[in-house]
Amino acid sequence: MPMTVTAVIIYLAIIYAGFVVVSIADSFASKEIATRLRVSKAKATFTQDYIVRGGKKFPLYR
């Protein structure tokens, strides 16, 4: 997720709840992401469908 207020709130809420955050760079290929999720035994994933710039929505995934 881009560094937005929402992303920071999610991050801090996870930490406050006593869980571990595993950050994954958006430049990673799907195989690398899958490996990190498997190794970390992630229980939840937070993503974002689009970003807003200049009042326009730009999709992140197609």
Kindly report, residue by residue over 1-55, the tens digit of the pLDDT.
777 888 899 999 999 999 999 888 878 899 999 999 999 999 988 888 888 889 9
pLDDT of amino acid 23: 85
Number of domains in the chain: 1
Contacts of 11 (CB under 8 A, 6+ apart): 21
Rounded to an integer, what distance in angstroms lies between the CA atom of residue 62 and that of residue 43?
25
Whole domain around residue 31: which residue ranges? 5-59
Q: What is the pLDDT of residues 9-19, one digit of tens each?
A: 999 999 999 99
